[in-house]
Amino acid sequence: MRADEIAEMRRLRIFEDVAPERILEMLRPAFLQRFPAGVELVREGDPADFLHVVVEGQVEVFSAYRDRETTVSVLGPGQCFIMAAVVLDRVYLKSARSLTAARVLLLPADAVRRAFGEDAAFARCLATDLAQSYRMVVKELKNQKLRTGLERLANWLLAHRIERGNANRFELPFEKKVLASRLGMAPEVLSRTFAALTPYKVKVKGAIIEIGDVDALTKLARPTATIDDPDT
């Protein structure tokens, strides 16, 4: 890794409050790798050799069972995945593939575990990160078990609107079939569900979404802090 790359890496959230020497020690055996789109980075069931951090691009985390497949999340720069498997030295529970061309930082699992065992600041860092991840999944589980497809889409749109700085017009960050899988429905159903939102002034033209009446959509979606607020 080059010096400028190392400088870039140490600003990652997982290294917050960790001593600089410790960060360098962990980065020494690490790789910063480039992948084209559509590559499987990690396969469910394999032992966890690396802690992965997305530096650039998008990574889809998904899982398969029988002939079905579902995407658990889509990660962007700064987010890392499969921390729990690395900390516990277990197999990956999910697979991951690059959705776009991507740069990924690969931290060898044993180095991470050693740092976890020796460095209290890093251990705390991982703990808070794990706690946040845990809460995210819990929210997603509630989203799935308590809401219909229409409600999930409506709430996703509202959450994404906020993420985009309250923009009432934005482009979908990934393909509709990925969104469908993330929301837990078939692509065809997503199409129909978008169509069902036209009475609420949601316009769809290709990947461009326009939310014509935020209040109407909010009344339909009924967002809740304990499911939809990422800071709660």
List interacting residues with DNA (CB under 7 A). Answer: 148-150, 175-177, 184-195, 204, 206-207
| Distance of closest approach, residue 183 Cβ to DNA, in angstroms | 9
Q: How far is the CB of 189 from DNA (least distance, A)?
A: 4
Q: Select 18 or 209, whichever has its Cβ closest to its own copies.
A: 18
Among its own copies, DNA, none, partner that 193 touches (CB below 5 to 8 angstroms by kind) = DNA
Quick one: 13 or 222, whose CB is closer to DNA? 222
CB-count burial class (<10 Å; 0-12, 13-18, 19+) for 77: middle
Q: How far is the CB of 189 from its own copies (least distance, A)?
A: 14
Residue 175 binds which entry of its own copies, DNA, none, CB below 5-8 Å type-dependent: DNA
Alpha-carbon distance 222 to 133, whole Å? 23
Radius of gyration of the chain (CA): 19
CA dihedral 43, 44, 46, 50 (to 10 degrees): 70
* CB of residue 40 to DNA, shortest distance in Å: 15
Distance separating alpha carbons of residues 88 and 84, to the nearest angstrom: 6
Question: Distance between CA 8 and CA 155 in Å, rounded?
Answer: 34
Q: Which residue has the tokens 């980075």?
A: 41
Output 59 or 227, the one with its CB closest to its own copies. 227
What lies within 8 Å, CB to CB, of 147 at 6+ separation is 155
Angstrom distance (rounded) from CA 76 to CA 134: 18
Name which of 81 and 194 has its Cβ closer to DNA.
Answer: 194
Nearest distance, CB of residue 184 and DNA, angstroms: 6
Residues that bind its own copies (CB under 8 A): 44-45, 63-66, 68-70, 72, 83-85, 87-88, 90-94, 116-117, 120, 123-124, 126-128, 130-135, 137-142, 144-147, 184, 222, 224-227, 232
